């Protein structure tokens, strides 16, 4: 049996942020129609090693992203894709795939929740994942100017210089979170913060927020006032958010959040929920990262790889026993 092996470089050559936004939108439509299924993230640990697993089904295929994390070595990311006969189709190095998909999720939320006239963005965070967050917001709205903030001044300066060149628009450093978001129409948070640094009082009316950095119940980037002010709180997966969303769990403890308010982003995408009601609404997308959107990206990468002859076929001895 031949299995297509795709490297990080292969993935980067086959998938970009605008394409990924469209793929996630199509996956939302399939999910609402009953043609896609997501399993909330599972986590298991043994000694210093923790395994994270996100499974999903879409387009007649099933698959899972797994990423073991071992201190002090960090994480390695893999996507395993299976066909309709249950045989393995591809093994994909998935760090770049996850980076693009995570950014695209915020791009999709920006497409459906940010004001149509949004022109100014704020990026809070300057790491690997922040780059596609910013690129996706700019793909979803005609952003003309960006304010960025990060705790490390040197990394912030480098981020602004490199993203200005990549996006062809000014990405300017801000001295504080409040300065960065003061006149922003769209905001993204992508950090490893444990405690909130973005407060609701900093946001002007009409702002859309993509809270994308925290997917652990112990971590929060936004304070309960952001949640309280938000007319719409969209989630990628409600069941997963009940376990993982440190932002919303903190707001719930402080009386600023009721799970009855939760709206699945997929339902906004297909029009089952209206989303933003007016230009003064503050809206929020709580991005945790789901397997359904990983498999949407993996399906595309695999199909394009076959079309273009990208990757290496690995022979695996396999005999299906009856």
Dump pLDDT digits (tens) for 259-302: 999 999 999 999 999 999 999 999 999 999 999 999 999 999 99
Q: Confidence band (pLDDT; 50, 70, 90) for 321?
A: low
The per-residue pLDDT for 102 is 97
CB 54 within 8 A of CB 61: no
Question: Cα(75)–Cα(53) distance, rounded to whole angstroms?
Answer: 12
Return the DSSP state at 4.
E
The per-residue pLDDT for 104 is 98
Beta strands in the chain (DSSP E): 2-6, 36-38, 42-46, 49-58, 61-70, 74-75, 78-82, 88-93, 120-124, 145-149, 171-173, 186-189, 208-211, 230-235, 262-264, 282-286, 312-315
> How confident is the model over 26-44, as pLDDT tens digits?
999 999 999 999 999 999 9
Return the DSSP state at 198.
B
Please indicate whether residue 161 or residue 217 has the higher confidence score (pLDDT): 161
Helix (H, G, I), strand (E, B), or coil: what is residue 51?
strand
Q: What is the CATH number of domain 114-289?
A: 3.40.50.720
2-98+292-315 under CATH 3.30.1780.10, yes or no:
yes
What ranges do the domains of the chain cover?
2-98+292-315, 114-289
Q: Confidence band (pLDDT; 50, 70, 90) for 72?
A: confident
Task: Determine the average pLDDT of the residues in 142-165.
Answer: 98
Asked whether the predicted pLDDT for residue 236 surpasses 90, the reply is: yes
Question: Cα(28)–Cα(125) distance, rounded to whole angstroms?
Answer: 27
CB 292 within 8 A of CB 262: no
Asked whether the predicted pLDDT for residue 320 surpasses 70, the reply is: no
Arithmetic mean of pLDDT over the chain: 96
Asked whether the predicted pLDDT for residue 319 surpasses 70, the reply is: no
């Amino acid at each position: 049996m031949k299995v297509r092996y795709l490297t990080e470089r292969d993935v980067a050559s086959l998938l970009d942020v605008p394409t990924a936004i469209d793929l996630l939108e199509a996956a939302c439509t399939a999910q609402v129609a009953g043609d896609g299924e997501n399993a909330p993230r599972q986590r298991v640990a043994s000694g210093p090693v923790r395994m994270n697993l996100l499974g999903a089904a879409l387009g007649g295929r099933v698959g899972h992203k797994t990423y073991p994390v071992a201190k002090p070595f960090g994480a390695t990311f893999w996507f395993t894709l299976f066909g309709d006969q249950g045989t393995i189709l591809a093994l994909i190095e998935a760090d770049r795939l996850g980076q693009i998909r995570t950014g695209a999720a915020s791009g999709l939320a920006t497409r459906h929740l940010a004001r149509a006239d949004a022109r100014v963005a704020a990026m809070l965070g300057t790491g690997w994942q922040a780059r596609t967050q910013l690129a996706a917001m700019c793909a979803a709205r005609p952003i003309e100017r960006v304010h960025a903030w990060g705790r490390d001044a040197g990394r912030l300066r480098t981020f602004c210089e490199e993203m200005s060149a990549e996006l062809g628009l000014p990405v300017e450093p801000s001295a504080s979170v409040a300065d960065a978001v003061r006149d922003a129409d769209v905001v993204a948070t992508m950090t490893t913060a444990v405690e909130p640094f973005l407060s609701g009082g900093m946001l002007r009316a009409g702002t859309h927020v993509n809270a994308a950095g925290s997917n652990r119940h112990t971590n929060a980037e936004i304070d309960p006032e952001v949640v309280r002010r938000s007319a719409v709180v969209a989630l990628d997966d409600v069941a997963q958010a009940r376990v993982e969303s440190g932002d919303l769990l903190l707001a719930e403890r402080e009386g600023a959040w009721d799970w009855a308010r939760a709206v699945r982003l997929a339902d906004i995408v297909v029009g089952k929920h209206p989303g933003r009601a007016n230009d003064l609404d503050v809206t929020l997308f709580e991005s945790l990262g789901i397997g359904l959107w990983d498999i949407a990206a993996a399906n595309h990468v695999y199909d394009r790889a076959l079309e273009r002859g990208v990757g290496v076929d690995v022979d695996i001895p396999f005999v299906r026993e009856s």
